[in-house]
Amino acid sequence: MKTITIAIPSYNSEKFIVDALDSIFEQSYPVDEILVIDDHSDDSTAIIVKKYTEKHNINNLKLIINPTNIGYQKNWNQCLELAQCEYVLLLHSDDKLKPDILAKQIKMFSEKPELALVGGKEDFIDENGVTLRQTEFSEERIYSKGQIYEFVTEQNSYIPCSSVLFNMERIRKIGFFQPDVLATDEFYWPKVLYSFPIAVLGESLVNRRSHKNQAEYTDFLTKHDKVLAVLDQFMSVVDLERRPQFKDAMRQFFISKFSNACINISSSVLKYHKNPIVALRYLIYTLRINPKIVFVNRRFYKSFLLLVLTALKLDNVTLNHLFKKIKK
């Protein structure tokens, strides 16, 4: 059986798809299959992929175009379903792999064949590929089957999806991502850990691109009811923890995690969409689920101040200047 598939779920990715593909061909470990599954883009993504394939005479790249848009969660699942290799990595079309990461992940699998996945950390880049933030190196962590509390609290229930290499024999036994659920990957990792051990390498494996057209920013604005329902879905993760002594601590952890996330989302809605009404909904929800946050989190007041300034309808130059000042 061939070893590695890298599957790229794409949607309107014309600006970044070449960078993603280039980062695959810069790997020292050979990639047997590359899938680009385009979710019915209305830009030039498909044309760019076809030209890239012809230009570089690539014979292991397959482009699949969905006849209708099915949403990113279902498209991720489609990538996993169609991949033919023993190991699969889902590379988001606006991200870039760091050099040599596949070799490091395969080495980990060879040492720990019982693992269901190997992920890592991420650095952040802007639309032009300029580094915005780098993640500090930490020790690798191997979580044994059932160590959900440890994973959730130490990793914030988060592994960057583009950094994860899946062992498909194990993943198919578990099932894939839950469709139509926001932050579906953050619910998925504990589900995997319920049945199999996982590994998180302590170094950055991927450059994650931050830009205003990311699906998550649009979701924050247009699907805020679903975003606000995410806490209840997080609480379902508590049921996966078999050890009763950790359940209450996990509940409190998720309340803190989600209330902090709502503050960040409120700021994102203001920064990228200049919509104070939706931003206010997130702040109100933060107070409802975690009233104590007003005493311990300065970012709540910063977000509220940004909301007021945005509501005053200042010009973009002034707003951007104030955003930078307040976030310091």
**What is the chain's pLDDT, residue by residue, as a tens digit (328 residues)?**
679 999 999 999 999 999 999 999 999 999 999 999 999 999 999 999 999 999 999 999 999 999 999 999 999 999 999 999 999 999 999 999 999 999 999 999 999 999 999 999 999 999 999 999 999 999 999 999 999 999 999 999 999 999 999 999 999 999 999 987 888 999 999 999 999 999 999 999 999 998 766 666 677 777 777 777 888 888 889 999 999 999 999 999 999 998 888 888 888 887 777 888 888 888 888 888 888 887 667 777 677 777 776 777 655 555 555 555 545 5
Let me know if 232 is exposed, middle or buried by CB neighbors in 10 A (0-12, 13-18, 19+). Answer: exposed
Let me know if 30 is exposed, middle or buried by CB neighbors in 10 A (0-12, 13-18, 19+). Answer: exposed
- Cα angle value 177/169/66 (rounded, 5°): 45
For residue 143, give the H/E element and its range.
Answer: strand 141-143
Q: What is the pTM of this model?
A: 0.88
Inter-axis angle of helices 215-222 and 276-289, to 10 degrees?
A: 80
Instruction: Residue count of the chain, please give it.
Output: 328
Q: Which domains does the chain have, with CATH numbers?
A: 4-209 (3.90.550.10), 215-327 (no CATH)
For residue 26, give every residue at least 6 positions away whose Cβ sits within 8 Å of its Cβ, in sequence order, or none. 97, 99
